[in-house]
Structure 1
């Protein structure tokens, strides 16, 4: 019988096998190579140096200085034209103004080349705009600024295409005083402005956006508004409008977003609304609308937001679960005589209305209009039929790759040692 291998030789062999196993384990835990679908970082060639812009008109530089606005390199902060020998400001934005800003008529007259003028959070005292500036403006925004405005002041901007006034009191007897001569206007927002009066009986037909929410406007919604076949967004919410929704409402064929919420509208939802193919957002909540809820909403393929809560609708809810799943927001709570077919919709859906009995009447009293439970649902949806599988999957992580690799390496070493010990005994 052969003698067992010498101890130094066995130790060297074990040491060699140890480093081989560790090297193999380390190789297995190397990070994966980048996916072949990952686009390499593009190498952007160095752009040619821009041509040197002409300096700003000295009169406008002095005007900016008097208004405590940055006057050094102003065209890097605001849009300028390319006139020679001096450029001129086309856009100017006042934002978060300090108390030392005072509007000088002389300074504003020097800025009569402006086409876009914006005030954000600048509650400074208003000032008379020179005629040249009023006529040159295409866009005027005033948000929580200038403390107060008048309809006559705004009406002088006759060349505007975009007018935005928000959270600023406007003293005007109706919208027509402001908008009557703005024949180029496409977008108008006058919201939370304590505006009184009614909606004009005549509109300029190129309007695409109308938002007069949060005011004190009253009266009926005139049929003139249904002539705006380019209108894409209409927000008349939180006013005092009454009467019925015009039966010609379906003539607004370009409409995508409409909110008539929080008014005193009555009657039924007009059938003509079916003719508006691209409606995405419909909010008719908190009115006195009655009748049954039309089934045609389920045929609107683009619809994602439907809020009909806090009205006087009755009858059976005409929707199935697949339609509700397609919506991001669906609210019908606060309609005491409305119910749902429990054979079509699950009782797990938080609809805010009761199931129907065999006569199509609510089986039990639904939550009252002012019941906090009807309004305690998530803002994103009035129903919740999801499970927790996705969240559990998000928190599940596999074993760490490094730990796994080291474990494999150590297991290999132990196996080799045991194998060599057994081999030495067998050979001995």
Structure 2
């Protein structure tokens, strides 16, 4: 019994030691555990401070923005999206600077000042949209720094000389604001890196420029929109040297002459509008080499000749407007080509006709079908097949009924005039017979004479 008792005692002592050590380990950690528990808030705050913009905006620019009624206290102008998406800032230190500024729907009492613009000389993009303010002198530091300038229904008293001072622009857009200038070349000749030019509805007269960049780099220009002005003269052949031009809109001007034969050299064009001018001559066949062309509008001119069949080979074309010209001959397009287009207009060409054997009479083109000589059928013959000019009338869309149907039904009954004459003759014959018989009867004394 004694060994067992000793062993038992030893085991009890060991168990007690283990319990004590476990209790010590369990109790000891709490003091060290409290410090990690309190540390997350400081870690979180440091993370928050690092994610928030720590670099302030230039104080001079804050004052300038406030003078333009752009809030700077309730909304950080460098946080995106900014107030009305009006500002974009750089990441410079120790102060950030505004690089993009857009003024939209301005208050009527908003005024620009040279001092405000001087404070914003870091701008690379400046836009006025429905912001009717008088133009003021731009400091040279701002004029030199700008890369993009836009005015849409906004600035008053713009001049070509004023715009030419932005000599480092790559994009210039003026829409709906009158520009006093003797020609577009006054504006463009001093801007060396221009790749997008829009001067639309700006009351500009004169000729189209012969050169678009003073450094004569034809690869820069990608967009030209000079629509709704009073430009006259011809389209210069030098325009076709702009090999990277993607959009050309010269519509609603007073341009005359022919479209240059080399017009097809503008192989990068996707959108062309020469509508509403006084252009004459035929469509150059080189036009079909514009493989990227999607939109082509030559309407409301005096273009003549036949329409090149090669236009139907332009696979990317979706919009084609050739209406109100003097084209003649047979229209070269078939039904599958017309169906592939989203918009197709060709009416207003009185000497143009279509092949009714390849295009359904139900397709309303606004031009007449051709006769066997390739000339428009002006009047419908009395009796003709389904290819007559009557194919364009609305009666062709109803199988029965209408006035023609009524006339056909009436042809099956007797003619009323014939019936009337027959009745009259019959009555006359009966009356004659009666009179003859009466006279004979009186001669034989069979009546009371």
Mapped partners of 2:379, 2:181: distance in 1: 46
Structure 1 segment 201-350 matched on structure 2, within 5 A: 201-204=210-213, 205=218, 206-350=220-364
Mapped partners of 1:352, 1:308: distance in 2: 12
Deviations 1:373-421 (A, max 9, x none): xxxxxxxxxxxxxxxxxxxxxxxxxxxxxxxxxxxxxxxxxxxxxxxxx
5+ unaligned residues in a row in structure 1: which ranges?
A: 1-46, 367-428
- State whether structure 2 residue 59 is matched by structure 1 residue 58: yes
Structure 1 segment 152-171 matched on structure 2, within 5 A: 152-171=161-180
Structure 1 segment 413-428 matched on structure 2, within 5 A: none
Q: What is aligned with 2:78?
A: 75
Mapped partners of 1:317, 1:261: distance in 2: 20
Q: Does the Cα contact within 8 Å between 1:336 and 1:365 map onto a contact in 2?
A: no
Deviation at 1:95, TM superposition (A): 0.2
C-alpha change, 1:297 and 1:365, in structure 2 (3 Å) is: farther
Deviations 1:159-192 (A, max 9, x none): 1111100000000111100011111111010000
Q: What is aligned with 1:93?
A: 102
- State whether structure 2 residue 184 is matched by structure 1 residue 175: yes
Q: Does the Cα contact within 8 Å between 1:312 and 1:337 map onto a contact in 2?
A: yes
5+ unaligned residues in a row in structure 2: which ranges?
A: 1-46, 381-449
User: What secondary structure does 1:127 align onto?
Assistant: coil
Q: Does the Cα contact within 8 Å between 1:53 and 1:82 map onto a contact in 2?
A: no
Q: Does the Cα contact within 8 Å between 1:354 and 1:365 map onto a contact in 2?
A: no
User: What secondary structure does 1:62 align onto?
Assistant: helix
Deviations 1:59-101 (A, max 9, x none): 0111112222222311122211111111000000100001110
The correspondence for 1:195, drawn from 189, 204, 212, is 204
Aligned length: 320
User: What secondary structure does 1:106 align onto?
Assistant: helix
Mapped partners of 1:275, 1:328: distance in 2: 21
Q: What is aligned with 1:9?
A: none
Mapped partners of 2:164, 2:115: distance in 1: 21
Structure 1 segment 9-24 matched on structure 2, within 5 A: none
Deviations 1:251-278 (A, max 9, x none): 1111111000000000000011122111
Q: What is aligned with 2:154?
A: 145
- State whether structure 2 residue 364 is matched by structure 1 residue 355: no
User: What secondary structure does 1:298 align onto?
Assistant: helix
C-alpha change, 1:53 and 1:364, in structure 2 (3 Å) is: farther
User: What secondary structure does 1:226 align onto?
Assistant: helix
TM-score normalised to the size of structure 1? 0.73
Mapped partners of 1:53, 1:173: distance in 2: 50
Q: What is aligned with 1:375?
A: none
Mapped partners of 1:175, 1:52: distance in 2: 44
Deviation at 1:365, TM superposition (A): 6.7
Larger radius of gyration: 2
Q: Does the Cα contact within 8 Å between 1:203 and 1:224 map onto a contact in 2?
A: no
Deviations 1:178-213 (A, max 9, x none): 011111111010000001111111123110000000
Q: What is aligned with 2:410?
A: none
Mapped partners of 1:52, 1:108: distance in 2: 25
TM-score normalised to the size of structure 2? 0.70
Mapped partners of 2:299, 2:379: distance in 1: 20
C-alpha change, 1:331 and 1:102, in structure 2 (3 Å) is: same
Mapped partners of 1:343, 1:138: distance in 2: 57
Deviation at 1:51, TM superposition (A): 4.6
User: What secondary structure does 1:75 align onto?
Assistant: coil
Mapped partners of 2:301, 2:202: distance in 1: 22
Q: Does the Cα contact within 8 Å between 1:54 and 1:85 map onto a contact in 2?
A: yes
Mapped partners of 1:180, 1:75: distance in 2: 36
Q: What is aligned with 2:193?
A: 184
